[in-house]
Chain A
Amino acid sequence: MNLVMTLGFLLVIIGLWAMLTQKNLIKIIIGFSIIDTGVHLIIVSIGYIKGRTAPILDASVSVADAANKIVDPIPSALVLTAIVIGLAVTALMLTFVIKLYQKNKSLSIDDYQELKW
């Protein structure tokens, strides 16, 4: 059992619940950002190896024994990218909400159903 991964999945579930049930557009985006945080936690937890240190070679970690002392650097590298992309998506979604609000003066998702069938 991986505690951080559990936490990550719980956050994904809570975020998803918010996305599916909250009417307010801002709340829906908050839901997405909670999901995002959860996913990042999951990714980092995948790279973690118990009792090891950060993947930086310095005085305490020499090149020779790095393979036995550091955690997996790849998930960290992936998460860096994912975090920035998450911000980009969140900001863009918020911009859509701002524009939608400008046009319709409503933040409820139920008021944006003019296209259907």
Chain B
Amino acid sequence: MIKQVLSLVAIVLLAALIFAPMLINTPLHTSLTPLANYYATQGADDLGAPNLVTAIVVTYRGLDTLGEVTVLFIATAGIGFLMGKKKKLITPKRPASELLQNGASFLLPIIILFGVYIFMHGHLTPGGGFQGGVVIASGILFMMLINQDWSHNVFLFLESFSGFFYVTIGALGIVLAGGFLDNRILPLGTFGTIFSAGAIPLIYSLIGLKVGTELVGILHAMRGEE
């Protein structure tokens, strides 16, 4: 009981003393900050990507994104580490219906294609590596639900190598362009077309692949023993 009261006191104080003044004193901005203004005016010239969020995520703040992919990666590793070795999967008592199985094998390529589309167009339209990766992961999840198990090793290799190439392409930026994760190792191309914006589509695809396989890894590990 005393804990409840203290919790209430703590939260009320936190809200009243810290959150409330912040809320009151941060009206909406009416113009871009100088930094955002730079991205808005120079971003297209610099990187050739119409989607500025993508430009920031993949290149300007590419180190963040690499870090974020790493976070997901170590979360996957950590979950795998915690859950420990899997016991042999027992064949399900009740196999999924034939209709569902067939439907799934029909749908899966479409889902994956859709995912690839999202991350390939990340520099042009909303969405990109993360979103596409999730779409792919959900496709695989679908397969898992109907107990059609894939060899996990495939994902493991995909995950490892997409990550490895991501870093390698980033390092190429140091050698061929201005710095780590610079997308201008490839020509910027025609603004607004799919093969433009230098290495952004390539990097975002690798990110998508990496995120997707990592998410599969998480789901796979958390499913635990059957």
Contact = CB atoms under 8 A, between A and B. Distances in A.
A82 B38 CA distance: 23
A16 B71 contact: no
Nearest to B224: A98
B211 A84 contact: yes
A56 B222 contact: no
Interface stretch (B4-12, B88-96, B161-169): B4-12
Contacts of A12: 19
Interface size on A, as a range, is 35 or more
A76 B75 contact: no
Interface in B88-124: 124
A49 B7 CA distance: 36
Contacts of A50: 28, 30
Interface in B20-53: 22-24, 26-33, 35-37, 39-41, 43-45, 50-53
A17 B7 CA distance: 7
Contact of B56 (A5, A56, A73, A96): A73
Main secondary structure of the interface of B (DSSP, over half): helix
Given A17-B7, A77-B56, A84-B72, A67 B27 contact: no
Contact of A74 (B28, B39, B124): B39
A94 B82 CA distance: 11
Contact of B31 (A9, A49, A66): A49
Interface stretch (B57-65, B145-153, B180-188): B57-65
Contact of B71 (A21, A58, A88): A88
B178 interface: no
Interface of A: 1-2, 5-6, 9, 12-13, 16-17, 20-21, 45-50, 54-58, 63, 66-67, 70, 72-74, 76-78, 80-81, 83-85, 87-89, 91-92, 94-96, 98-99
